[in-house]
Structure 1
Amino acid sequence: MLWMLASGLLFTGLNALLRTLAQQLDPFVTQFLRYGAGALVMLPFIWRAGLAAYRPKGLSGQLWRGAVHTSGLLLWFIAVPRVPLAEMTALGFTTPLFIMLGAILFLGERMVAARWIAALVGFAGVLVVVSPGLRGGGGPYGFVMLAASPLFAASFLITKALTRRDSPQVIVVWQAITVTLFSMPLALLAWTWPTPAQWALFLLTGMIGSAGHFCLTRAISLADVSATQPVKFLELIWASLVGFAVWSDLPGPATLLGGAIIFASTTWIARREARLRREATA
């Protein structure tokens, strides 16, 4: 749960940076450089441990994961410059529901009612927050972003399968490599040279993104995918804090009420999962 919490904090900051960069550069160029920077910042770790330490036990799985994740990112980056931050955050919360369904259908995880209750209550909290201001500001691009959710869910499910044979470090490195390679053709067609300031921001996105994916991969390697998903709803709180810090957006009563609902559902499922794990190992 704590690894998932950390990933949410990191991805909130990452999304704020990427939305800014995608409004300045072509979205495909932004996607390519973000993951290229992710591969670049991992080079010191690869150099220190040696290439053998980062050789995957099954290259085909890494390539499939990279292809699926790239497909979702293509849709996400097309929409992200045009969809308001609140709407983007809310639409992203549909991914856990696809993940929980897929974990049951494809990974054989048990259909635990408590996890579904926590996820649905958390999603209800999200609706409380965004419903007063969610007016479809992204227009048709909101549907484009929504279409990315099942692809991201499929990517996370493949990641869960990969954690059975590869370490989180290996998975993160190969994600950066494969997405960079698969994104390159479209990026070259729309290529524009970034400014020095934009290069620095891309390097920062590489560091934040790699750290976020490591935390995410670590979380789903330690627990059932469906058990970790309700924690994702806390990202709405982090997004509200970032909005206040960067754009001086004060959270209203709906945000506070929705945040309380999200916090309650997340805390309840975390305590329940911890208790069940202690009973199982006792």
Structure 2
Amino acid sequence: MHPLRGITMKLASVTLFMGMSSAIKAVSDHIPTGEAVFFRASCALPVILVWLVARGEFPQGLRVRSPFGHVLRGLLGTSGMACGFAGLGFLPLPEVTAIGYAAPLLTVIFAALLLGEQVRRFRISAVGLGMIGVMIVLAPDLSGLFGQGDSRATTGALIVLVGAVFSALAQVWVRRLVMTEKVSAIVFFFGVSSTLLSLLTLPFGWVWPTPTEAALLVSTGVTGGAGQILLTSSYREADASLIAPFEYASMVLALAVGYFVFAEVPGWGTLAGAAIIVTAGLLIIWRERQLGLERARQRRAMTPLG
């Protein structure tokens, strides 16, 4: 294990994903969401293939035992991605990022309901705290539901929240999928399924991108694919409990990019809600680490000596 290398990879992946989101936001006024998903997915495939070849996992790493499992993972993950991309056209980048943090909180709930994972009182309390933070971020936007505020912001907030639900369901399904499928197959066929699913939106009016837009769209695939590889690799270099908290560096990047690139100044509600969500996420990670250490101590105590 190489903790520093793992942390570096995690931070690099977070940076690349933020670059991807920024590029999507930059073209969102002109490029339809389905078209953006197509470029993100299809342009990532060559990057992933090179990675698989370099690791000696092509083509044997692409063997599939559960085709339906990959199809369902593709439907859930692509829906989450599409909602996230669409939301970037409605809301500031920091706000989309903050609402997106609802996904790991919802994953805890769905894992308990669908996989039967045991969720103790501490983790449920942390999830509840995090969802309060999400509601604080959403509150100004949801006022549009009652005839007040900006209806466009309300639409964007609901889309991003639905995307978080799909992303959480996708993560829960991946937990089940890894029991029978290799990670390389899951990563590759998600790219394939996202590409094919996005083509279904072609009749709804794709547009011809300008050279600048085309470059940005291609970059979303390259940065997204590279970010996915770095994220996967980071968990091979260090414990998940050490790596996971660095995901929240994306909030710092979102604030910086939003301010300096898109001239977006987040409100106090967004900042306060994001702080609560991050705190809740860190509490869950800390608790999982404590439980992991406790289980390790119990295993050592049960190991016979001599």
TM-score normalised by length of structure 2: 0.73
- Give yes or no for contact 1:118–1:230 (8 Å, CA) kept in 2: no
For residues 285 and 271 of structure 2, the distance between their equivalents in structure 1, rounded to whole angstroms, comes to 21
Indicate the residue corresponding to 1:113 in structure 2: 121
Give the counterpart of 2:34 among 21, 28, 33.
28
Q: What CA RMSD, in Å, does the superposition of the two structures yield over aligned residues?
A: 3.7
Give the counterpart of 1:186 among 201, 210, 215.
201
Give the counterpart of 1:97 among 95, 100, 105.
105
Indicate the residue corresponding to 2:288 in structure 1: 273
The change in CA–CA distance for 1:218 and 1:61 in structure 2 (over 3 A counts) is farther
Indicate the residue corresponding to 2:70 in structure 1: 62
Residue identity matched to 1:142: A
Indicate the residue corresponding to 1:39 in structure 2: 45
- Give yes or no for contact 1:79–1:142 (8 Å, CA) kept in 2: yes
Deviations for 1:91-110, whole angstroms, at most 9, x for unmatched residues? Answer: 32332333211100111211
**More displaced 10-residue stretch of structure 1: 237-246 or 30-39:** 237-246
The change in CA–CA distance for 1:252 and 1:185 in structure 2 (over 3 A counts) is closer
For residues 42 and 273 of structure 1, the distance between their equivalents in structure 2, rounded to whole angstroms, comes to 31
Deviations for 1:203-239, whole angstroms, at most 9, x for unmatched residues? Answer: 3211322244446667899869xxx998766643332
**More displaced 10-residue stretch of structure 1: 11-20 or 46-55:** 46-55
The change in CA–CA distance for 1:148 and 1:128 in structure 2 (over 3 A counts) is closer
Q: Could you tell me which runs of 5 or more consecutive residues in structure 1 were left unpaired when the two chains were aligned.
A: none
Task: Please state how far the C-alpha of 1:175 moved relative to its aligned partner.
Answer: 0.7
- Give yes or no for contact 2:112–2:119 (8 Å, CA) kept in 1: yes
**More displaced 10-residue stretch of structure 1: 107-116 or 6-15:** 6-15
Indicate the residue corresponding to 2:180 in structure 1: 165
Task: Please state how far the C-alpha of 1:275 moved relative to its aligned partner.
Answer: 2.8
**More displaced 10-residue stretch of structure 1: 248-257 or 187-196:** 248-257
Task: Please state how far the C-alpha of 1:201 moved relative to its aligned partner.
Answer: 2.0
The change in CA–CA distance for 1:80 and 1:263 in structure 2 (over 3 A counts) is closer
- Give yes or no for contact 2:258–2:264 (8 Å, CA) kept in 1: yes
User: Which protein has the larger Cα radius of gyration, Structure 1 or Structure 2?
Assistant: 2
Are 1:242 and 2:242 an aligned pair? no
Indicate the residue corresponding to 2:17 in structure 1: 11
- Give yes or no for contact 2:95–2:137 (8 Å, CA) kept in 1: no
For residues 63 and 21 of structure 2, the distance between their equivalents in structure 1, rounded to whole angstroms, comes to 29
Say how many residue pairs are matched.
280
For residues 198 and 29 of structure 2, the distance between their equivalents in structure 1, rounded to whole angstroms, comes to 18
For residues 101 and 219 of structure 1, the distance between their equivalents in structure 2, rounded to whole angstroms, comes to 25
For residues 278 and 72 of structure 2, the distance between their equivalents in structure 1, rounded to whole angstroms, comes to 35
The change in CA–CA distance for 1:108 and 1:7 in structure 2 (over 3 A counts) is farther
- Give yes or no for contact 2:83–2:163 (8 Å, CA) kept in 1: yes
For residues 116 and 13 of structure 1, the distance between their equivalents in structure 2, rounded to whole angstroms, comes to 33
Percent sequence identity over matched residues? Answer: 29
Task: Please state how far the C-alpha of 1:35 moved relative to its aligned partner.
Answer: 0.8
The change in CA–CA distance for 1:251 and 1:142 in structure 2 (over 3 A counts) is closer
Q: Could you tell me which runs of 5 or more consecutive residues in structure 2 were left unpaired when the two chains were aligned.
A: 1-5, 143-148, 298-306
Counterpart secondary structure, 1:83? coil
Are 1:53 and 2:61 an aligned pair? yes
For residues 6 and 114 of structure 1, the distance between their equivalents in structure 2, rounded to whole angstroms, comes to 31
- Give yes or no for contact 1:86–1:130 (8 Å, CA) kept in 2: no
For residues 121 and 77 of structure 1, the distance between their equivalents in structure 2, rounded to whole angstroms, comes to 26
Deviations for 1:32-87, whole angstroms, at most 9, x for unmatched residues? Answer: 11111111322323444322222333222111111222333444444432233344
For residues 52 and 92 of structure 1, the distance between their equivalents in structure 2, rounded to whole angstroms, comes to 34
Deviations for 1:219-269, whole angstroms, at most 9, x for unmatched residues? Answer: 899869xxx998766643332132234245566766665565455444444
